[in-house]
Amino acid sequence: MTSPAGASPVQSAAGELDRPNLAALTDTALTERFGRLFAEHAPGLQRYLARRVGAATAEDIVAETFLAALRRRASYDPDRAGIRAWLYGIAGNLLKQHERTEMRRLRATARLAAGRTTGTDHADAVGDRVDAAYRVGQLATALSQLSPGDRDVLLLTSWAGLDATEIGQVLRIPPGTVRSRLHRVRRWLRRECPTTTLPDEDGTDD
């Protein structure tokens, strides 16, 4: 059974939650709404940002994101983007200021992984654990070489769990561009990422 508008009550409620009309809220409703928004979206945003720039910086960005959202709530247009995409868009702009932090972390991870693998003997080097650490290090190196736009698309997908439509709203590009960019980035990572080849089983490079 559907409503005259074609959406079930459950869908309507979900839609209202996803695209609230922030501009029309009274003070009391505003407090309640932002409390819910924070409870619903801040943990995910924190986890995503922490993986990019570290936990302490991430918390600062989360705080700034919600303060900015509160301050600019009248500019939120539910017809243009879901609330999650809007929040990630604000956070993304703030994240740009921490580009150097992110690069430093990626390079440090790459160095750490290299240290863990280069000092390992042959038997360990072919083990799953070292192989995984090696790949993480290689991935960190590769991510540091991506353009900011490509990195955003990849990590918003993998770490934040946003779909192409939402990422398009975050980055203000068409969903089709998101998909093609994601395909291109993943292809590049799969083919170009291992810039240093793992030792073969006989201990030599190829």
Place of tokens 């995910």: 44
Angle between helices 55-71 and 27-53 (to 10 degrees): 150
C-alpha 127/C-alpha 109 separation (Å) is 20
CB of 123 to another protein, least distance (A): 21
Task: Tell me: does residue 126 bind another protein (CB under 8 A).
Answer: no
C-alpha 32/C-alpha 16 separation (Å) is 14
Task: Tell me: does residue 18 bind another protein (CB under 8 A).
Answer: no
C-alpha 75/C-alpha 195 separation (Å) is 45
84 close to 74: Cβ distance less than 8 angstroms: no
**57, containing H or E segment:** helix 55-71
CB of 94 to another protein, least distance (A): 6
Among 12, 17, 18, 64, binds another protein (CB under 8 A): 64
Q: In this chain, which stretch among 2-10, 11-19, 30-38, 114-122 interacts with another protein, using CB under 8 A?
A: 30-38
Among 12, 17, 40, 42, binds another protein (CB under 8 A): 42
Q: What are the structure tokens assigned to 66, written together?
A: 């919600």
Q: In this chain, which stretch among 12-20, 118-126, 137-145, 174-182 interacts with another protein, using CB under 8 A?
A: 137-145
C-alpha 46/C-alpha 87 separation (Å) is 12
Among 85, 87, 143, 160, binds another protein (CB under 8 A): 143
CB of 169 to another protein, least distance (A): 15
C-alpha 45/C-alpha 54 separation (Å) is 12
CB of 6 to another protein, least distance (A): 35
Task: Tell me: does residue 118 bind another protein (CB under 8 A).
Answer: no
Using alpha carbons, select from 23, 176, 154, 168 the residue that is nearest to residue 82: 168
Task: Tell me: does residue 60 bind another protein (CB under 8 A).
Answer: yes
133 close to 116: Cβ distance less than 8 angstroms: yes
**140, containing H or E segment:** helix 128-145
Q: In this chain, which stretch among 3-11, 105-113, 119-127, 167-175 interacts with another protein, using CB under 8 A?
A: 105-113
Binding residues for another protein (CB under 8 A): 27, 30-31, 34-35, 38, 42-43, 46-47, 50-52, 54-56, 58-60, 62-64, 66-68, 70-71, 73, 90, 93-94, 96-101, 103-105, 107-109, 112, 132, 135-136, 138-140, 143, 147-148, 154, 158-159, 186, 189-191, 193-194, 197, 206
